[in-house]
Amino acid sequence: MSRKNEFQIKNVQTSVLGFPVGESSYTEDMSTLGAVTDIQIHDPFSQGAIHVSAQVVSSGLTGTLDGTVDLIESNDGLNWNLMSHQTTLDTVSKSAILKESDFCCKFLGIRITKGQITAGAVKIILLAKQR
State percent of the chain over pLDDT 70.
85
pLDDT in tens, 43-58: 777 777 888 999 999 9
Residue 10 pLDDT: 58
Q: pTM of this prediction? A: 0.85
Closest CA to 126 of 44, 30, 5: 5
pLDDT in tens, 6-62: 667 655 554 455 566 788 899 999 999 999 999 988 877 777 788 899 999 999 999
Residue 68 pLDDT: 97
Residue 80 pLDDT: 94
Query: Strands (DSSP E) along 51-106, which ranges?
Result: 51-63, 67-74, 81-89, 94-100
State percent of the chain over pLDDT 90.
58
CATH number among 1.10.287.130, 3.20.20.370, 1.10.390.10, 2.60.120.510, domain 8-129: 2.60.120.510
| Residue extents of the structural domains in the chain | 8-129
